[in-house]
Structure 1
Amino acid sequence: MAALAVAGSVSAEEPIELQGRRELFVDKTLVDSVDGAAKFVLHPPHDEGEVFQFNKPWEGLFCGYATILHVDGKYRLYYRGMPKAGSDGTNVESTCYAESADGIDWTRPALGLYEYDGSKENNIILAQSAPFSHNFSPFYDTNPDADPKQRYKAIAGTKRTELHGFVSPDGIHWTKLQDDAIFKDPKGAYDSQNIGFWSEAEECYVIYYRYFVNGRRSIARTTSKDFLTWTDPEYMSYSNTNSVTPRNHLYTNQTQPYFRAPHIYVATSARFMPGRRVLTPEQAKEIGVHPSYFNDTADAVLMSTRGGDQYDCTFDEGFLRPGLALGNWVSRTNYPVLNVVQTGPDEMSLYVNQEYGQPTSNIHRYSMRLDGFASVQSREEIGSLTTKPLTFTGEQLAINFATSAAGSVTVEIQDVDGNPLPGFTLQDAPPTIGNATNRVVRWKDKGTDVSSLAGKPVRLKFVLDDADVFSFQFQ
């Protein structure tokens, strides 16, 4: 399937149609030029501490491949229970469920669905169903035509089974969609968390899954209109290598429509570094890590895509580093939970599976400002960013920004040739100062009303003085 028009597939002469979409500076799709001291900056999330420990007998050291869903005001956590090491896809594994009202304090409901060690007083939602609990990955289906009895869907399976579909009316009681796999790829490895979702932008279901290329863990995708019939695989390429071989192993892809701009898929991917050992055997023994799990390291990177077969790797650097704890410098830890979710009026959270293979195996919460993955930034000197020609719908321009006490953001609207439009020039624009996730821009005589320009090709010029702009939207 071809990339979306907003992904830069339009020619230089054609304006990009924004309509009322929010646009983030996680890529340079809309950018024509960056001048002066302006640059793109990645903003690592802030560690808010442990929020969930895998300390039940059916959970244990090897819990992983977690997903968080925020639906109808409730946070839902799904994860693999695996109390002892073993090969992928055995009945040692189960799928577990927890829930929260705020994304911070979590409870395990006693569901009574499956027996463990003689009792059904547990939060297991799938068991004795090898290999599907190995990497069971659910999503909430936002397709407006979806069957309410199948509002929750999931992808699971390994190489020997290919990918199977599961459905649920409530996210707790699950059944297999059909006996046969819904998707098969001779190159598919699937030995990771394979991701599915409904794409509002592409109007289809999408799966991102694991395969190997040139001996390296990589990512492929397929699409479907009905969740049953899927297109031929697209093997993803990466802008920092210009090939289907990523620079490093990508263990999980965690590709997701960003909830405030679903036409942009952000990928909080786990980057795996095999054989890159940091801990000594003595240190490994001290923290109690399983002997097989301290010879490698891992962290997370941020990529994005707007459909099609390429990830944008504008930020070719670590997004989430292991930090000070020795327990995070071991194999298969620091793997982000699937999905970033809103946890406050101006806050969103990324959850991370940490201290893998240890008695302290847990999930940490990391906070970010809304849209705060990255920004265009200028510090010591003034810089600017000018967009490509675009059209919009709406009456006001709002920005998510932050300045110092002495800094500012000034916005000019230009015609397609870069000429300032009367009433919307830099001289007409009072400096925007402060820190807000949704501040409406104004001009001296025009006020906040930009409706006279709606539907007409224009450019935006952001001038930054000790400031960051994270996103903008015509509203």
Structure 2
Amino acid sequence: MKPLTQFLFTFILAFSAAAETLYNGIEVPTPWPPADRAPTREPMELPYLKNPPAIIPIDVGRQLFVDDFLIEKTDLKRTFHNAEYYPDNPVLSPDKEWESGESQNHPAPTAMPFSDGVWFDPQTQLFKMWYMGGYVKSTCYAESKDGITWTKPELDVVPGTNIVQTHGRDSATVWLDLLDPDPQRRYKLFSYLRPDDNGRYTIYFSSDGKHWGDPVATSGPTGDRCTVFYNPFRKVWVYNIRAYEPGGVGRYRRYHENADVLEAAKWKEGEPVFWVGADTGDYMRDDLKTPCELYNLDCAAYESLLIGLFSIWRGQPQDRAKPNEICIGFSRDGFHWDRPSHTPFIPVSEQYGDWNWGNVQSAGGCCLVVGDKLYFYVSGRKGVQGSPSSGVCSTGLATLRRDGFASMDAIDGEGTLTTRPVKFSGKHLFINADASQGEIRVDILPTIFVGGRLRTDNPMDPIEGFDATSCTPINTNLTRASVTWKSGQDLSSLANTPVQFRFHLKNARLYSFCVTDDPNGASNGYVAAGGPGLTGSQDVAAPR
């Protein structure tokens, strides 16, 4: 190749890499992921909040108000909400002979996801759970029609049992991959096997999630409590690698990605970059006074962002199982995490005898969309008083309003929220809001740029026909409420034109909004581990 040609080729490659723009307008710089750095407890800097796009595309998913990415100005109060435990937990308990085991010289019968996975399969219309059966003994399978009542079918892998993988194991991830065109790779299992303890993940494929066959690959070197997830926004597989820094941050996470799931597993010692650990906002328990560590992180795409379930280790008492609990985080670029609330999203119980007195951790896939709720399945350990043993290990359920991680509130009063300039191709506006004690109205403003810069003090009147006065007030409590105006116009005349929404709240909470082509409100967003009525990995309109 001639020098000039080589230069132009290199320049084009560098420019195209540097110019990558995500679905939400965020520009991803090179190198990506960001260069390695020393592990730290400092909270991550968030470049997309410091320098948000001038115009934010919102065609993918419901737009959640978990941070200020979408907000130009507001006098509303943001409230973060935590999941609530299902009252009849646990929903899955160890009751089979092969689910027996031992921890710290005490019995530890086990039926719990140690990440593993809980998914809704649109082909069979069943909830499916993979879990640790017996303490570090095997991988088992259960299924349910409603996500509450679970059965353990007798399978042929080990006849008369629901065991699907006989090898001893530690952490595992099962991923229902609805995007892989090869039906033999529909299910993917990543397992840290024991007693081999070879410091690597072993990878399997399956067409049905029950028959896994021989391994197809092993990963690079890793710690035992690792997970894997697919980031559909950037179309990459991410290996979330446990690492440890003695005398420093303790347990933390390193990051390695590739568009191909097997290529992503091919790293060498020192190649994965520092990703995230517990930070200075993670509080120490008064009884342990131990700096926190990041024990585990499960991730999934939900609507227009990634959610992360951070299992926070707060120390190891000698008289109970470790009191790990789950906190929440959000990412809009797939790497940088915003953790605006360090209050446990799904806490450990402080009551001896409860099923979750110790070590509450998340399941692979993170959550399922079930009607107007999100279902989060978690493991819990009953523990043994006076011992660090896990005791009985079972599975519980916690729920949250759909999109309900955070709300923008005008309680006992009025307020407004004006978005940054956004653009869309849809024509129907929907909001997720509780206005049952008040009302919400919306007007739409033209976006003004002066000298190439957005004029933040928008003096313009609303676009004709889209003012708050003529907006039909929303005075219901719905996760998908249609916003209309007296003119009867939809938003098609505003498509691909930067505008700003201004929400007027009176005694109401606003959780999210979206603009879509679907008159029934399908958002085109991602739905984590799926759910009833959803046909794939995204919330799309039903075929007509």
TM-score bin (small chain): 0.7 to 0.9
Counterpart-to-counterpart distance in 2, 1:177 and 1:226: 17
What do the CA deviations read for 1:87-119 (whole angstroms, capped 9, x no partner)? Answer: xxxxx61111111111111111111313xxxxx
Alignment pair present for 1:425 and 2:462: no
Query: What residue in structure 1 maps to residue 322 of structure 2?
Result: 296
Query: What residue in structure 1 maps to residue 170 of structure 2?
Result: 134
What do the CA deviations read for 1:302-346 (whole angstroms, capped 9, x no partner)? Answer: 112233421111222211223464245987522122334446422
**Per-residue deviation, 1:394:** 0.8
> Equivalent residue of 1:452, what SS?
helix
**Per-residue deviation, 1:408:** 1.6
Query: What residue in structure 2 maps to residue 42 of structure 1?
Result: 81
Counterpart-to-counterpart distance in 1, 2:84 and 2:66: 14
Asked if the contact 1:6–1:29 (Cα under 8 Å) also holds between the matched residues in 2, the reply is no
Query: What residue in structure 1 maps to residue 139 of structure 2?
Result: 95
- Output aligned runs, 1:108-187, within 5 Å: 108-114=152-158, 120-127=159-166, 129-130=167-168, 133-144=169-180, 146-157=181-192, 160-178=198-216, 180-181=217-218, 183-185=219-221
Query: What residue in structure 2 maps to residue 352 of structure 1?
Result: 378
> Equivalent residue of 2:164, what SS?
strand
Check 1:295–1:227 CA distance in 2 against 1; reply closer, same or farther (3 A cut).
closer
> Equivalent residue of 2:365, what SS?
coil
What do the CA deviations read for 1:211-241 (whole angstroms, capped 9, x no partner)? Answer: 2243422223222222121275242247965
> Equivalent residue of 1:27, what SS?
coil
**Per-residue deviation, 1:436:** 0.8
Q: What code does the residue aligned with 2:401 have? A: R
Counterpart-to-counterpart distance in 2, 1:5 and 1:234: 24
> Equivalent residue of 1:297, what SS?
coil
Asked if the contact 2:188–2:203 (Cα under 8 Å) also holds between the matched residues in 1, the reply is yes
- Output aligned runs, 1:23-422, within 5 Å: 23-35=63-75, 37-50=76-89, 51-60=91-100, 61=108, 63=110, 64=112, 65=114, 66-72=116-122, 73-83=125-135, 93-114=137-158, 120-127=159-166, 129-130=167-168, 133-144=169-180, 146-157=181-192, 160-178=198-216, 180-181=217-218, 183-185=219-221, 188-189=222-223, 191-192=224-225, 194-213=226-245, 214-230=248-264, 232-237=271-276, 248-258=292-302, 261=303, 263-275=304-316, 277=317, 294=320, 296-323=322-349, 325-327=351-353, 332-342=358-368, 344-357=370-383, 360-405=392-437, 407-417=438-448, 418=458, 419=460, 420-422=462-464
> Equivalent residue of 2:413, what SS?
coil
Asked if the contact 2:184–2:207 (Cα under 8 Å) also holds between the matched residues in 1, the reply is yes
Q: What's the Cα RMSD here?
A: 2.9
> Equivalent residue of 1:6, what SS?
coil
Counterpart-to-counterpart distance in 2, 1:379 and 1:327: 38
**Structure 1 residue ranges (4+ consecutive) displaced by more than 6 angstroms after TM superposition:** none
Check 1:139–1:413 CA distance in 2 against 1; reply closer, same or farther (3 A cut).
same
Asked if the contact 1:295–1:330 (Cα under 8 Å) also holds between the matched residues in 2, the reply is no
Asked if the contact 1:272–1:332 (Cα under 8 Å) also holds between the matched residues in 2, the reply is no
Counterpart-to-counterpart distance in 2, 1:238 and 1:423: 49
Check 1:216–1:467 CA distance in 2 against 1; reply closer, same or farther (3 A cut).
farther
Percentage of matched positions with identical amino acids: 25
> Equivalent residue of 2:493, what SS?
helix
Counterpart-to-counterpart distance in 2, 1:76 and 1:3: 35
Q: What code does the residue aligned with 2:152 have? A: R
Alignment pair present for 1:463 and 2:507: no
Counterpart-to-counterpart distance in 2, 1:239 and 1:399: 34
Q: What code does the residue aligned with 1:163 have? A: Y
Query: What residue in structure 2 maps to residue 289 of structure 1?
Result: none
Query: What residue in structure 1 maps to residue 36 of structure 2?
Result: none
What do the CA deviations read for 1:373-405 (whole angstroms, capped 9, x no partner)? Answer: 222222133233222211111111001111242
Counterpart-to-counterpart distance in 2, 1:252 and 1:393: 38
> Equivalent residue of 2:469, what SS?
helix
1:22 counterpart (41, 62, 65): 62
What do the CA deviations read for 1:266-313 (whole angstroms, capped 9, x no partner)? Answer: 1122222104x5xxxxxxxxxxxxxx6606322211112233421111
Check 1:296–1:199 CA distance in 2 against 1; reply closer, same or farther (3 A cut).
closer
**Per-residue deviation, 1:62:** 5.8
Counterpart-to-counterpart distance in 1, 2:410 and 2:260: 46
Using structure 1 for the length normalisation, give the TM-score.
0.81
Query: What residue in structure 1 maps to residue 483 of structure 2?
Result: 441
Asked if the contact 1:296–1:330 (Cα under 8 Å) also holds between the matched residues in 2, the reply is no
Structure 2: unaligned runs, 5 residues or longer: 1-16, 28-47, 101-107, 282-290, 385-390, 449-457, 517-544
Check 1:200–1:172 CA distance in 2 against 1; reply closer, same or farther (3 A cut).
same
Asked if the contact 1:239–1:313 (Cα under 8 Å) also holds between the matched residues in 2, the reply is no
Q: What code does the residue aligned with 2:378 have? A: V
Counterpart-to-counterpart distance in 2, 1:13 and 1:198: 25
Counterpart-to-counterpart distance in 2, 1:390 and 1:252: 35
Counterpart-to-counterpart distance in 2, 1:377 and 1:161: 48
Asked if the contact 1:8–1:29 (Cα under 8 Å) also holds between the matched residues in 2, the reply is no
Asked if the contact 1:334–1:352 (Cα under 8 Å) also holds between the matched residues in 2, the reply is yes
Check 1:95–1:367 CA distance in 2 against 1; reply closer, same or farther (3 A cut).
same
Check 1:368–1:42 CA distance in 2 against 1; reply closer, same or farther (3 A cut).
closer
Counterpart-to-counterpart distance in 1, 2:278 and 2:331: 10
What do the CA deviations read for 1:193-221 (whole angstroms, capped 9, x no partner)? Answer: x3323332112222223222434222232
Asked if the contact 1:266–1:303 (Cα under 8 Å) also holds between the matched residues in 2, the reply is yes
Counterpart-to-counterpart distance in 1, 2:490 and 2:349: 46
> Equivalent residue of 2:312, what SS?
strand
Asked if the contact 1:252–1:269 (Cα under 8 Å) also holds between the matched residues in 2, the reply is yes
Query: What residue in structure 2 maps to residue 89 of structure 1?
Result: none
Counterpart-to-counterpart distance in 2, 1:217 and 1:400: 37
> Equivalent residue of 2:184, what SS?
helix
Q: What code does the residue aligned with 2:297 have? A: N
Using structure 2 for the length normalisation, give the TM-score.
0.72
